[in-house]
Amino acid sequence: MTSFKLLVCLFCIVISDFCISDSSYDSISNIYLEHELIPGAGFIKYNSIVVNLETRNDVISETIINDSDLKLLKELAFNNELYRLKVTVKTLSGKETSFLTFTKACLIIGSKFNDILTLHLDHLDSPFAVNLATTFSNCNNLHDLSTNKFTTTVFFRRPESSPVPDTATYIQKMEREREAREKGKSNNNKSMLGKYWMYILPLVIFMMIAGASNPETRQ
* pLDDT (mean) for 55-83: 88
Give which of 35, 27, 28 is closest to 65, Cα–Cα. 35
pLDDT for 185 beyond 60? no
Query: For residue 116, what pLDDT is reported?
Result: 92
pLDDT tens digits, 86-106 = 999 998 888 999 999 999 999
pLDDT tens digits, 2-24 = 554 444 444 444 444 434 334 44
* pLDDT (mean) for 74-81: 91
Neighbours of 138 (CB within 10 A): 10
SS3 150: strand
The better pLDDT of the pair 123, 26 is held by 123
Angle made by CA atoms 105, 98, 132, in degrees to the nearest 5 = 30
Domain map (residue ranges) of the chain: 26-157, 167-214
Neighbours of 26 (CB within 10 A): 15
Query: For residue 133, what pLDDT is reported?
Result: 92
Q: Give the least confident one: 35-39, 110-114, 129-133, 173-177.
A: 173-177
DSSP 57-101: --EEEEEE--HHHHHHHHHHHHTT-EEEEEEEEEETTS-EEEEEE
Q: Which of 9-18, 94-103, 174-183, 187-196 has the largest mean confidence?
A: 94-103
pLDDT tens digits, 114-131 = 899 999 988 887 889 999
